[in-house]
């Protein structure tokens, strides 16, 4: 019984591998797959640029708020 389970699992594992490689081959051969990869790279680049801008602007805004808070705290 245990041997049969190993055989069935091996068949299932081979089937999953075959389907994965087949899907990868189709994506590589199809032009739509290439366009999808290009869009993915574009979106990743936009995300990285957005995060960098938010970090840079965030530090500046934090400094401005700190200055205003300090000045308000010094009022009589």
Q: In this predicted model, what pLDDT tens digit does every residue of 3-29 receive, in sequence order?
A: 554 445 555 556 777 887 787 777 777
* pLDDT single digits (tens) 31-52: 666 677 888 899 999 999 999 9
Output the pLDDT for position 32: 65
Output the pLDDT for position 43: 93
Judged against a pLDDT cut of 70, whether residue 57 lies above it is answered with yes
Phi (first) and psi of residue 30, to 5 degrees: -85, 145
How many Å from the N-terminal Cα to the C-terminal Cα in the chain? Answer: 86
């Amino acid at each position: 019984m245990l041997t049969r389970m190993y055989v069935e699992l091996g068949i299932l594992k081979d089937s999953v591998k075959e389907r994965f490689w087949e899907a990868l081959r189709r994506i590589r051969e199809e032009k739509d797959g290439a366009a999808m990869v290009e869009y993915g790279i574009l979106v990743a680049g936009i995300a990285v640029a957005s995060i960098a801008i938010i970090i840079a602007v965030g530090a500046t805004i934090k400094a401005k708020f700190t200055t205003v808070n300090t000045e308000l705290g010094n009022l009589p």
